[in-house]
Amino acid sequence: MGQGSAGNVIAALASFFIPGLGQLLQGRWILAGFMFVLAALLWLILLGWIIHLWSIIDAAVYDPPQRRGYRY
């Protein structure tokens, strides 16, 4: 999946509702957990929207590394 693909759009929409969910759908478990926990902590001081936006944008522009020998 490349930038702007249907998978990235779905991931960005998922992150819109729950920070980190889009990264989780893309298989990036550690970053998903980090974003979720950080957003939850920062929402306590009303700055969680920063991580929330980062989560949405990161899911939308993610371009997975290419495997060796794989051709389209």
How high is the pLDDT of residue 1? 47
How high is the pLDDT of residue 68? 56
pTM: 0.61
Contact residues for 21 (Cβ-Cβ < 8 A; gap 6+): 11, 14, 15, 32, 36
How high is the pLDDT of residue 69? 58
Indicate whether 72 belongs to any domain. no
Host domain of residue 26: 6-61
DSSP letter (8 states) at residue 34: H
Indicate whether 56 belongs to any domain. yes
Indicate whether 67 belongs to any domain. no
**H helices present in 1-72, as ranges:** 6-17, 21-25, 29-43, 48-61
Indicate whether 1 belongs to any domain. no
Each residue's pLDDT, cut to its tens digit, for the chain (72 residues) gives: 455 567 777 888 788 888 888 888 888 888 888 888 888 888 778 777 777 777 777 777 777 776 555 555
Indicate whether 66 belongs to any domain. no
Angle between helix 48-61 and 29-43 (nearest 10) = 160
Task: Count how many domains the chain has.
Answer: 1
